[in-house]
């Protein structure tokens, strides 16, 4: 087990190096000279030289790469170009609001999608199944933007059930007042594709021989579905949820922007708008690392769920 973890971590080194190189060259070569971006309208040659020296971009390229790697290892990406805030502080303060919205969103969405998928898979071919599938297909084809715009307008602006946007200071207020509508919208958006996907997982299992055997020996339908089928179908479901995790952190940027939630996604958008390279670089590298770690965790989880899985 430990040997497996160590080997997997060792295998991520080249990938991580690739991510670092990709980000580095993207921002160094494609991005142009950041000194001009930074100096802005009022620029003279001395100022630009000054900025270049501060950023270290008057150094040869390998020195710059070394600086970048040191930044990643130490977690110190310097200050944001736009706000002069420490990049690490930005992440630490924005992580809380993001998680306040995303964790309940993911939990509610996964539970609802599993229940709905189980139901339609059990009733496969019936009218209910077909209606739900058509609903999912059409629902999926509408842009997430439309859901957010319409729900915010109807439920918050028109009916006043929720605050239109905003963020408070206490956790309870944030969770039960400001996060409710974003969570509802997020669940509605992700429910359709997840239900469709999980339905195929359940259908794969429900036709297997072991299901027939379980029924033949007189097991109750509830137990067959919720214990036998569920356990086998949970493996691809876990993969799907784990794959979503790191992307979710940034992926909810639209929700965070519309509802003015001071989370990481909104920070990324702001950084892109302001050409705030240190923030974007830091996010990209750390989210990539997070992705690799969750992939490893997903594999370890398989082992826990399915003893047949051999870790090698």
Location of structure tokens 């993001």:
98
Cα gap 173→157, rounded to integer Å: 19
Of 86 and 275, nearer to other proteins (C-beta) is: 275
Among candidates 93, 79, 60, which has minimal Cα distance to 169? 93
For residue 204, the minimal CB distance to other proteins (Å) is: 10
Please report how close the Cβ of residue 305 comes to other proteins at its closest, in angstroms. Answer: 23
In the complex, least distance from residue 29 CB atom to other proteins, rounded to whole angstroms:
9
CB nearer other proteins, residue 197 or residue 305: 197
Enter the DSSP assignment of 178: I
**SS3 (DSSP) at 174:** helix
What is the Cα–Cα distance from 264 to 230, expressed in whole angstroms? Answer: 34
Smallest CA-to-CA distance from 237 within 185, 196, 208 is with: 196
Give the nearer residue to other proteins in terms of CB position, either 95 or 305. 95
User: What residues does 79 pair with on adjacent strands?
Assistant: 86
Q: How far is the CB of 152 from other proteins (least distance, A)?
A: 9
As measured in angstroms, the least distance from the Cβ of 37 to other proteins is: 8
Structure tokens at 86: 């420490």
Q: Which is nearer to other proteins, 234 or 244 (CB)?
A: 244
Contact residues: other proteins, CB under 8 A:
14-16, 18-19, 22-23, 26-27, 30-32, 137-138, 140-146, 149-150, 153, 157, 246-247, 250-251, 253-254, 257, 268-269, 271-273, 275, 277, 280-281, 283-284, 287-288, 291-292
Q: Are 117 and 199 contacting, i.e. CB atoms less than 8 angstroms apart?
A: yes
Residue 31 tokens, joined: 């991005």
- Rounded distance between C-alpha atoms, residue 250 and residue 256, angstroms: 9
* Residue found under tokens 């971006």: 37
| Whole-number Å distance between alpha carbons of 63 and 58 | 10
Q: Which is nearer to other proteins, 152 or 174 (CB)?
A: 152
CA separation for the pair 117, 120 (Å, rounded): 5
> At its nearest, how many Å lie between other proteins and the CB of residue 12?
8
Considering the complex, state which of residue 97 and residue 265 has its C-beta at the smaller distance from other proteins: 265
CB of 124 to other proteins, least distance (A): 12
Task: Write down the least CB distance from residue 26 to other proteins, Å.
Answer: 5
Nearer to other proteins, 156 or 219 (CB): 156
Structure tokens at 312: 């090698």
Q: How far apart are CA 6 and CA 168, in angstroms?
A: 42
Residue (91 or 277) nearer to other proteins, CB: 277
């Amino acid at each position: 087990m430990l040997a497996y973890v160590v080997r997997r971590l060792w295998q991520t080194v080249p990938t991580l190096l690739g991510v670092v190189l990709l980000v580095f060259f993207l921002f160094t070569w494609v991005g142009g000279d950041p000194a001009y971006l930074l100096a802005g309208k009022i620029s003279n040659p001395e100022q630009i030289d000054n900025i270049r020296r501060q950023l270290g971009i008057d150094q040869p390229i390998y020195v710059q790469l070394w600086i970048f790697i040191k930044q990643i290892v130490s977690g110190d990406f310097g200050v944001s170009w736009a706000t002069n805030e420490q990049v690490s502080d930005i992440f630490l303060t924005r992580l809380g609001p993001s998680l306040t919205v995303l964790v309940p969103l993911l939990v509610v969405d996964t539970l609802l999608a599993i229940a709905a998928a189980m139901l339609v898979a059990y009733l496969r071919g019936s009218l209910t199944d077909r209606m739900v599938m058509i609903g999912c297909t059409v629902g999926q084809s509408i842009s997430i933007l439309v859901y957010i715009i319409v729900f915010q307008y109807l439920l918050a602006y028109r009916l006043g059930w929720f605050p239109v946007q905003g963020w408070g200071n206490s956790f309870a207020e944030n969770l039960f007042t400001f996060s409710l509508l974003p969570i509802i919208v997020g669940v509605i958006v992700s429910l359709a594709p997840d239900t469709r996907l999980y339905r195929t997982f359940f259908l794969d299992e429900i036709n297997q021989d072991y299901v027939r055997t379980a029924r033949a020996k007189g097991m109750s339908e509830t137990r067959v579905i919720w214990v036998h089928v569920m356990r086998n179908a949970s493996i691809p479901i876990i993969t799907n949820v784990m794959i979503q995790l790191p992307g979710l952190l940034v992926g909810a940027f639209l929700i965070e922007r519309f509802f003015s939630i001071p989370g990481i996604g909104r920070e990324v958008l702001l950084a892109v708008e302001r050409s705030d390279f240190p923030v974007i670089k830091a996010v990209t590298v750390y989210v990539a690392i997070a992705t690799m770690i969750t992939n490893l965790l997903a594999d370890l989880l398989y082992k826990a769920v399915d003893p047949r899985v051999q870790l090698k």
